[in-house]
Structure 1
Amino acid sequence: MGRGAHRRRSNHRVGGLLLGVLLIAVLVVVLAEPVAEPRGDRPSADATTAPSEPPTTTAPVVEETSPYAGVGTWLSRYRFTREFGGAVPPVTPAVVDTMAEAGIRTIYLQPAADDPRYPGLLSTDVLGDFLVRAHARDMQVVAWYLPRFGDIAGDLRRLEAIAEFRVDGQGFDAVAVDIEFTDAVALAPRNAALIELSQQLRAALPDVELGAVVLPPVVTDVLNSGYWPEFPWAELRDLYDVWLPMAYWSNRSEEGFTDPHWYVTENIERVRRHLDDPCATVSVIGGYDAQETSDDYSAMARAATEQQAIGVSIWDWPTTPPSAWPAVEDYDVSGC
């Protein structure tokens, strides 16, 4: 086309060719314009009318398909394992059907303990039954573990065993570390052990979605600053994908701290401030107590939705009143 445009056979031909070249140039410019991204990384030229962009963040993107998203319930080893719950534990895998009918999407299950008597996983046949039943109901299972920070090698060994556990080719959908035990190790070595364990765990399980179950900052910042001072938020920030604050308003008796909406909101906001990340991925834990009302759980779900948490869960299954589940089922899984 370029060479033909320079063959001056007639003025008419030249004009037509020039017009064609101009049209092609316009099309090239138009087609070269970048397609706008769904969320947009660049500010609009009209800052007065364009919607504000969400804050940038270094946290991993967690989709609605995350095991931590949606509504969840919790079970500790005392509820379902023979080692800690007796020959006939109070909760059996048959309860999965009831959970599914209640609208629960994720079961948080404790398959191991930091106990030298039990170096491996607990009641593996029961664990397998929970997994198979849950997956058959299109539910997910997050395995959680409580380290005491006195045996990092043992903790890592159990966490790796959790991640490797398979029954009929099925395994846990994610792994969470319950970071709350303070009795056995002094503060400085405890922080060092927590950071070391977290670093080793992240290196060992690079493709596993790791959750950090953390003490509520309202407690550690305001109500009892001596509980776990100097918690290493910055050192842990890039080692975990999801943050699960234990926002149990039922534990509180102080005036102004028992309101579920305020308590959940404040804890989520403080977690993100400590992480210096306004969009840190949060899946909040609420409850617990059979005396909590449907209004309490509705307030919790509303706060989580407003704060763009990806999930809400309630500790624990046996102490959660049936009225709680309809109250949280309309929770909007949004994410920041």
Structure 2
Amino acid sequence: MKRAEQVTFGGSRLDRAAHLRGNPAALAEARAHPDAASILMWRGKPMVCGPDGDRLAFVTTQHPVISAGHDSLIGGPILLGIDDTGPLFATDLSDWTPGDIDESALDHFVDTSLQRYPGFPEDHVFAELRQLMTRLNPRHAELVAAAKALIGWHGIHPFCARCGARSEITQGGWQRTCPACGAHHFPRTDPVVIMLITHGNSVLMGRSPGWPEGMYSLLAGFIEPGETLEAAVRREVWEESGVKVGEVGYLASQPWPFPASLMFGCWGRAETREITVDPVEIEDALWVTRSDMMDAFAGTHPFIKPARKGAIAHFLLQNWLADTLE
């Protein structure tokens, strides 16, 4: 697909400086570099700034917030890479608790709450990534996608999966090593297929329980061990909708840090049209014509709202409507 890397989180060709990760002296030198900078994360939400909240906020690695003791989980900045501005890191501040926090507003499908860290300008806020991902430039999107996924992985993998001892963060944040048995553990990425399934001039859409009213998206599901992309597409579509799929092909991929997936965008041609929804998998599924989908994108359809902007589903549908998939 010619426009594959234009998808949100599609990458900015960041130099991830993997050669520095196993060199403690080089890592220390990078952190002490006068141009080193860190983005800040709080419970998976990046700190952004500006009147439109369209760019990440960076602080020097000598900034007091770095040593404030709010990153006990990680123990220090994670190396994200190097660009022409200098070494780039991510610092987790999740141990900080805002004085006016409303826990009920957090961790929802739509979290519009903003948190402000003391001492920062008024326009510096922690904001939910889904709300701002389409406003970030490719470099900032790649940085925050990596940071969110990495920090989230450390948060749920503090112990060695082999012997149960508490593991230690190594390789600049890109590995955990067990001091008891020596096992190495690496950041997890969950592969997911998401499918543009067509039959004639219609595309198969579905919705999950709890989504905003009227929101429909492409069907998707996790790839199982020992399964190809093509097999996963056919299985997931059959399980969720009862539709049989024949020919399958690959279109584009997208890192999806919610919490840490890699979405494989595929196309498939349906061999049957009858839908039988599995209510355990999804809430509803339907065939949507090209003209109805155009209305949905224009906001004029009577009940269908398109997939969220920034998601690969929206990207694939947009290119399907524009006839630019190839």
Q: TM-score, normalised by structure 2?
A: 0.27
Structure number with higher strand proportion: 2
Larger Rg: 1
Structure number with higher helix proportion: 1
